[in-house]
Chains A and B, each alone.
Chain A
Amino acid sequence: MYRYDEFDARFVRERVAQFRDQVARRLDGSLTEDEFKPLRLKNGVYLQLHAYMLRVAIPYGTLSARQLRQLALIGEKYDRGYGHFTTRTNMQFNWPRLRDVPEILDLLADVEMHCIQTSGNCIRNVTADHFAGVAADEVEDPRPTAELIRQWSSLHPEFDYLPRKFKIAVTGSAHDRAVIKAHDIGLRILRNAKGEIGYEVMVGGGLGRTPMIAKTIRAFLPKHELLAYLEAVLRVYNLEGRRDNKYKARVKILVHEIGAEKFTELVEAEYAGLDGPSIDADPQEVARIAAYFAAPAYEKLAPRSSAYETAKAENRAFATWASVNLFPHKVPGYAAATISLKNIGEAPGDVTSAQMRVLADLAEKYSFDELRITHAQNVVLPHVKQDDLFAVWQALVAADLASANAGLITDIIACPGLDYCSLATARSIPIAQALAQRFANQQRQIDIGELNIKISGCINACGHHHVGHIGILGLEKSGKESYQITLGGDATLNAAIGENLGPGLAAQDVPDAIERIVDVYLKHRKADEPFIDAVRRLGLEPFKIALQETLHAPA
């Protein structure tokens, strides 16, 4: 894991002192509320429906035990004993008081964390594949790149007042687990024909009101040219992006309006005029960062652990959890374990301080002191010996963290919706809870197989509904909540935006509708065909009919 050096540490401390001073200037009237707003946003402080909300950056989703324990402490002291993991792998606290914020920022700085640029019209927390360093199909670990970008984008003098927020995601694998095509910039690490490492650069993805899939503007950017190229992209966006309408200000709209070709041309022209080497990080700096992400000291193990096999044979619940929640590790004898924060009936992504401490202990004892947060709002122990899996699972069971549903129909992504969010047009958490209850049966979930349901409480799409296999969008229609169902969205490299299935539904009809959709799939699927493949093969029609049946079903 990356560790702060003296420079990083001072930078973060100075930032806290700066925020204290900004709060003081707001209170004495030097700054108006309007002027203070972007300053507080860039320190992660939102004003929400009931209170302030603080968003803590978890860069590329990587945490140590010590950091998670500190989050547990903050949750206890300043929230109501819990925190909430978001789809951008941040942690949110929903109830802090503004005057406590500088103190919380100090507590975070104590463990090399911050809230810098988790909000506001600037470059946001950089995300990456949560199986970085674990996946066998990886060309290179994306985290050193993400850390380099984190540093470069922190308080960038030129790019802190962009037209709108700007999100960057990095993957190092052929398989995209970071939804890079739904980001303002998506970077995919790859090797060219000569075997050199570089990036495919995609620009202009995004969800929200106008969902767009990112377009490739550079098929291969040599690795060392990254920062200068990013500077060119951001400069073009800063100058050309629309500022007349906040809903049209994202780079996706610019790319869409002038076309990817013209956008590429502008970027390449700007880039050609730059003195790249003076902007890019020097190789020693890149190597310095990369060294922090060197593989941990794995033991040499047999690919199959007999203790693990025996435990599975003797305990069905464990075997089920293992078959659903484990991801293969590139090192023999190890596995990555997904810990689901999607217990039936609870808010997706919520985690109590007590649970955070359990997770921290497990990471320390069994996973080289490392945890990952996923964009699906779950936690990963990335490097667990198979021999230890049973002990880990037992500890999870005791902490109510052993739901065996990673990637299944009850592993639902949902935004805060009307329960917390001032922009919401409908509730989303209760819909997620009702669906989870409807599909609670473990065997049935496994029979259905991989299926992502994603729920947003308004068109801003924080719950990623556009890229859910089944997306649910909560709207308001003449004073009533109305839920629109989309089908066929995909968050991987085959990224696709889901299509609308028909008219909106009342909240209480949503579980029936989803059940009918799932039944259509079960009836028509071939052998092992996953839900999303079946939808592609069958088209929307049979599912539309199922939705119609829900609408006209007798009450």
Chain B
Amino acid sequence: MPLLDRNGAKDNAWVISEDGTADAEQIIVAYAHVKEALAGNGRGRRIGVAISNTVKLAELLPHLAEIELVSITFPAYGDGRGFSIAKQLRNAGFKGTLRASGPLIADQFAYALACGFDEIELPDAHAERQPVEQWLKAVNAITQTYQHGFGVQNILDARRAARANGK
């Protein structure tokens, strides 16, 4: 499945291995297997986890330091739970890679980045209909927004700066 981030299309170095048994250096395991994968990780593989958007943050918290990637499933573009989970993970101090996986649309790219995602993994047909150029264009449609703590560019800080400059 195609992958992209704020710079465009991206190679996927991670191998999906639900039960963690694949012979690879970077694996994404199913949530149900994350504990055993971490426990049996003697040889220093990089481990990521795929979660549904109904997982409770409290269950994930104890493992956050060891997990390098969390892939959050978006079952449909209209289901915005993933945005809140990403925000909660970032609030909890998660520093690894956050991946949104599912049929998102280009117009949600900026929202995803603002909530803390790094990359989007799209179903093939979906990516064909909405090529990467559309994502890179859509992400810049609105240059500044009104929320503190969601991405760098915000109007409130810009206003403060303007005030400080005596404008």
Contacts and interface: CB of A to CB of B under 8 A. Distances in A.
A8 B145 CA distance: 9
Interface string B126-153: 0001100010011001111111111100
B147 A35 contact: no
Given A158-B80, A158-B115, A7 B159 contact: yes
B80 to A, nearest CB: 3
A279 B158 CA distance: 15
B98 interface: no
A158 B111 contact: yes
Interface in A3-21: 5, 7-8, 10-11, 14-15, 17-18, 21
Contact of A160 (B79, B80, B106, B134): B80
Interface in B42-92: 77-81, 83-85, 87-88, 91-92
A238 to B, nearest CB: 5
A155 interface: yes
Contacts of A274: 91
Contact of A161 (B83, B88, B151): B83
Contact of A152 (B111, B147, B163): B147
B107 interface: yes
B78 A157 contact: no
Which of B112, B129, B148 has the most chain A CB within a 10 Å cutoff? B148
Contacts of B145: 11, 154-155, 157
A161 B106 CA distance: 14
A428 B102 CA distance: 43
A151 B81 contact: no
B160 A159 contact: no
A12 to B, nearest CB: 10
A273 B151 CA distance: 19
B114 interface: yes
A410 interface: no
Contact of B78 (A11, A38, A282, A284): A38
B15 interface: no
B56 to A, nearest CB: 9
A234 to B, nearest CB: 8
Nearest to B107: A39
B78 A158 contact: no
Given A31-B105, A161-B78, A285-B160, A21 B138 contact: yes
A222 B108 CA distance: 33
A235 B84 contact: yes
A159 B115 CA distance: 10
B158 A7 contact: yes
Contacts of A8: 155
B110 interface: yes
B156 interface: yes
Contacts of B141: 14, 17-18, 21
Interface of B: 77-81, 83-85, 87-88, 91-92, 105-108, 110-112, 114-115, 129-130, 134, 137-138, 141-151, 155-156, 158-160, 163
Closest 5 CB pairs of A and B: A161-B80, A157-B114, A157-B111, A18-B141, A7-B155
Given A10-B144, A156-B150, A158-B111, 8 more contacts: A10-B143, A18-B138, A25-B134, A30-B130, A161-B77, A227-B148, A278-B149, A284-B160
Interface of A: 5, 7-8, 10-11, 14-15, 17-18, 21-22, 25, 29-32, 35, 38-39, 121, 151-152, 154-162, 227, 235, 238-239, 243, 273-275, 278-282, 284-285, 288
